[in-house]
Amino acid sequence: MITKYMDEINEDTSNVATQLYNMTKIDSFSFSNEVLEGITFLVKYQQSLRILKEIEDNQLIKKFKINESEEVIAEVQSYSVIDYINKILKDDYVQKGQIFNSLDFGVPQTRKRHIIIGVKSNIIKPEFIFESFSHHKKKIYTVRDAILDLEKVTTSHDVDAGAQKRIEIMNLSEYAMQLRDNEKIYNHINTKSTQIALDRFRRLEEGQNFHDLDESMKTTYYDSKRTQNTIYLRLKYDSPSGTVVNVRKSMWIHPTLDRALSIREAARLQSFPDSFVFYGTKDSQYQQVGNAVPPMVAKEIGSYVKKIIDEN
């Protein structure tokens, strides 16, 4: 039923695109409300096409119905993420999945994620297993191992600040030595904290968070009791960190200094080498770090997939 209307939808979309293009040729062209509405229409059309194509290809529709506004509603099957992936890929890929912790890959943070490895079924034996991969535990590193050498490198609040020269220190951890592959330190920038934030920083010891503050220090929050334990968290130098997210939004604090954690420090906790430079707004850079798969984890997974293919 969906395929029947695909050509008509594509033709309508093409007509709108042509009209918008012709409008840009007018000397007095500007992004009027009419043009913006047309662009919005195109974007929504494109999104609808993709959703409809996915629904049809994977036979997800239970039934169609028309509501009181005469809109066509498609009731679709409900799946968990894992079940949905299996439904789409079951005929083409052999898949295995389980929960892994980045800590076991030599990354100094507890980051548990369900990882699925899928390999084309025509190039692999169906009985491949995770055995050698799941027992691939390495030395446990700490926050100190990751960022101690950055402690005396001055941070900047300016997202356009240039690189700084790294500082040499004695007894660097093996982890830090792996990541110090550049003579300069980029992205060692952080948030310019408000006075109330600084006052909170000064009152928190390693391992403490927002809930450990006196009630008089919580007045800027509507319901302080519902605040997550990761907010205003001062990291512990001699333990791995928790899961690195956007640490700017969570207001993570340096273990010993009364300042917010820098983008480069968060990147170190994620196992990014110093030669990897982040771009964009300050919040975007923090978000890029928090959203990333730790490179050391990605490398191990990639190497393992290659090993599976080579053996088969």
pLDDT in tens, 35-85: 677 778 778 877 877 777 777 776 666 677 788 887 777 777 777 777 778
DSSP state of 103: G
Kindly list the distances between the CA atom of residue 230 and the CA atoms of 81, 208, 245, in Å, as whole numbers in the listed order.
26, 9, 10
Residues 265 and 157 in one domain: yes
Q: Which residue range forms the structural domain that includes residue 59?
A: 2-76
Residues 54 and 93 in one domain: no
Residues 171 and 233 in one domain: yes
Inform me whether the pLDDT recorded for 24 exceeds 60.
Answer: no
Residues 148 and 119 in one domain: no
Helices (DSSP H) in the chain: which residue ranges?
2-24, 33-57, 81-89, 131-134, 143-147, 174-179, 195-203, 247-250, 263-269, 282-291, 295-311
Residues 156 and 135 in one domain: no
Last residue of a domain, one of 33, 55, 76: 76
d(CA 198, CA 193): 6
Mean pLDDT of 14-30: 59
Mean pLDDT of 93-104: 85
Q: Highest mean pLDDT range out of 6-10, 85-89, 212-216?
A: 212-216
Residues 214 and 278 in one domain: yes
Query: Comparing 227 with 215, which gets the higher pLDDT?
Result: 215
Residues 196 and 252 in one domain: yes
Q: Strands 61-66 and 93-101: what pairing?
A: unpaired
Inform me whether the pLDDT recorded for 7 exceeds 60.
Answer: no
Inform me whether the pLDDT recorded for 96 exceeds 60.
Answer: yes
Residues 182 and 288 in one domain: yes
- Return the percentage of the chain with pLDDT > 90, whole number: 46
Last residue of a domain, one of 34, 53, 76: 76
The whole-number pLDDT of residue 82 equals 78
Residues 112 and 182 in one domain: no
Tokens for 84, please give them.
Answer: 């949905």
pLDDT band at 106; cut points 50, 70, 90:
very high
What is the residue-averaged pLDDT of the chain?
A: 83
- Which of 51, 141, 94, 130 lies closest to 300 in space, CA to CA? 130
The whole-number pLDDT of residue 1 equals 47
Q: Highest mean pLDDT range out of 4-18, 182-196, 215-229?
A: 182-196
Query: Comparing 162 with 266, which gets the higher pLDDT?
Result: 266
How many independent structural domains does the chain possess? Answer: 3
d(CA 280, CA 261): 18
CATH code, 180: 3.90.120.10
Per-residue pLDDT reduced to its tens digit, 108-132: 999 999 888 877 888 766 565 555 5
Residues 181 and 227 in one domain: yes
Per-residue pLDDT reduced to its tens digit, 251-283: 999 999 999 999 999 999 999 999 999 999 999
Residues 156 and 71 in one domain: no
Last residue of a domain, one of 76, 106, 126: 76
Residues 244 and 288 in one domain: yes
